[in-house]
Amino acid sequence: MPRPIAVLFDLDGTLVDTVPFILAAVRHTFEGQPRRPTDAEWIAGIGTPLRTQLLQFAASPEQAEQLFERYRAYWLEHHDAATHLFPGAAETVRALKAAGHPIGVVTAKIEAGAERTLRHVGLRDQVDLIVAADTVEKSKPDPMPVRHALERLDRAPAEAVMIGDSPHDLAAGRGAGTATVGVCWGAATREALAPLADHLVTRMDEVVPLVARLQVRLAH
């Protein structure tokens, strides 16, 4: 029988309901600045590293670094109160882990931030691997983070699925050769996800049965 496929999750907007928190942090960060991103502009970049997004709206790299520090201070202060799992996320991850699937988180957060979030929501012990913005040289939508996860989890691309709420998540998975699943409860619309998604899900309780079907398909 084939080995259990690796299940790679994005974090923000996929497992944790943090998009409103992210937008609040952005509004705080750019308060008083002449160039401020709209919510739609920021959402379009979710799934890429914070510094990458900030550079698009800053007058210089130096200002981008100042904005980064302002964002991080707000994030650290409000993280625990504003960070919650989507309903059913814990049960989904735990069910997949119990079924033998290696679990990875491939995120645009830095490692320290991803660690804090996963510990706060009680899922760190279920995750075998975190690949963050500062883990490897390139970030999503480049496939490098997904390839790194596959190497560390000892899985071929055909033995893995990348699940995320952003086109950047799905582009990284597709570029690495994995199956891709777009979740429709996060930052991006169904229409934005569809071109890069092999499958779309609208409810968390669809994820485990879908992974089971992908596993059966691999066996045939």
In order of 67, 145, 184, 211, the CA distances from 138 in angstroms are: 21, 7, 26, 27
* Calpha distance 19→17 (Å, rounded): 6
Please give the Cα distance from 217 to 220 (Å, whole number): 5
Cα 90 versus chain centre, distance = 15
Please check whether residue 163 is in contact with residue 10, taking contact to mean a CB–CB distance below 8 angstroms: yes
Residue with tokens 């968390």: 204
Please answer whether residues 211 and 5 qualify as being in contact, where contact means their C-beta atoms are separated by less than 8 angstroms: yes
Q: How far is CA 107 from the centre of its chain?
A: 4
Q: Of 166, 110, 104, 161, give the one whose Cα is nearest residue 141.
A: 166
Q: CA-to-CA distance for 175 and 137, rounded, in angstroms?
A: 16
Strand pairing class (6-9; 103-106): parallel
3-state secondary structure (DSSP) of residue 36 = coil
Catalytic positions, written as ranges: 10
